[in-house]
Amino acid sequence: MTSTLPPLTIPVDLAGELLGFCSRPRAYAAAKAGVLPCLPGPGRKRVATAKLAELVGRPITLEDIETAEARLKPRREAVKRYSDDYRAARHALTAA
């Protein structure tokens, strides 16, 4: 059974995409400045969808999140490729 409710928390880059920030670094800068209401705690920063809904002034739907994730997917894949290439190059340099 699939849920029709949005997740309780979402990553900062996804929250930034929902709000229309231009880039991942800007979303994290907004989180650091307190514009995005991040949950306290160690590890990756997460944004509560309820707080985000208050900020936007309307409920955040699962469709909103799926649409934003689809827009983010190519950028996330590019970052992963870059990271993998960087690690491989660094390993090749240290192994030589």
Read off the amino acid at residue 4: T
In the chain, the amino acid numbered 2 is T
> pLDDT digits over 81-93, tens only?
999 999 999 999 9
Confidence (pTM): 0.78
Kindly list the domain boundaries of the chain, sorted by start residue.
9-70
The torsion region of residue 41 among left (phi > 0), alpha (psi -120 to 50) and beta comes to left
Q: Residue written as tokens 């390993």?
A: 91
pLDDT digits (tens, 9 = 90+) for 55-81: 889 999 999 999 999 999 998 899 999
Cα Rg for the chain, rounded, in angstroms? 16
